[in-house]
Homo-oligomer: A and B are copies of this chain.
Amino acid sequence: MLKGIINYSHYLMEGAVNKGDTVIDATCGNGHDTIFLSRLVGKDGHVFGFDIQDQAITNTERVLAQNGLTNTTIIKDSHSNFVHHIPVDKLTRLGGAIFNLGYLPGSDKSVITRSETTILAIEGILSHMKQNGIVVLVVYHGHNGGDLEREQLMRYVRLLDQKLYHVLYYGFINQKNDPPFILAVQKRN
């Protein structure tokens, strides 16, 4: 079967990220991706997870502890400030980042990611990323404000220089109710 959106986002990370890499979970949410990334980079790698909501920080730290995963640092701050929280020796090993854009499932729908800070974060991450590193954006856009973030994000990634980056769109186009899709940006050799 064709891979669904979440499976495919993990498949892309597996294809680009190596053991020992630093990775960023730009939107911890309920910690599902944080767990996946922690296992992906292994004991010599490190995950920096960001979220601006207390509930997300609490949930993520709890599931990490339940799974005995210690190669992680969870930070309550905007992902656009990532550079202030990652030591230089770890930043030079940045191999990937994942964003789940939209709102925290099961929480306040008025707290949403916004294109200005999302794009700031992507730009910063791309500038520090290793060659072949990847930024995977899982774009939920059915909520209030989601269409605006989607359009501004699409405009931004379409203009990334094709000599420096591959930009992939992966999505199911016959589904009702604004299903999420993937934008992936990979830094070329």
Contacting pair B186 A174 (CB below 8 A): no
Residues of chain B within 8 A (CB-CB) of A161 are 174
* SS of A interface (majority): mixed
Residues of chain B within 8 A (CB-CB) of A162 are 172, 174-176
Cβ distance A184 to chain B, nearest Cβ, rounded Å: 7
Contacting pair B176 A172 (CB below 8 A): no
CB-contact partner of A169 in B1, B12, B170, B176, under 8 A: B170
Contacting pair B174 A171 (CB below 8 A): no
Contacting pair A170 B168 (CB below 8 A): yes
Extra contacts besides A168-B171, A169-B171 (16): CB < 8 Å: A1-B132, A1-B166, A2-B166, A2-B186, A154-B173, A158-B173, A158-B174, A162-B172, A162-B174, A166-B174, A167-B174, A168-B170, A168-B172, A169-B169, A169-B170, A170-B170
The quantity of this chain's copies bound in the complex is: 2
A interface residues, how many (CB within 8 angstroms): 27
Residues of chain B within 8 A (CB-CB) of A172 are 162, 166-169
Cβ distance A3 to chain B, nearest Cβ, rounded Å: 9
Asked if A63 lies at the interface with its beta carbon under 8 angstroms from chain B, I say: no
Asked if A159 lies at the interface with its beta carbon under 8 angstroms from chain B, I say: yes
Asked if A157 lies at the interface with its beta carbon under 8 angstroms from chain B, I say: yes
What mask results when residues 1 to 17 of chain A are scored 1 for a CB within 8 Å of chain B, else 0? 11000000000100100
Asked if A148 lies at the interface with its beta carbon under 8 angstroms from chain B, I say: no
Q: Decide: A186 near B12, CB < 8 A? Known: A168-B172, A170-B170.
A: no
Contacting pair B174 A160 (CB below 8 A): yes
Residues of chain B within 8 A (CB-CB) of A165 are 174
Residue of B nearest to A167 (CB): B174
Assembly CA distance A37 to B53 (angstroms): 51
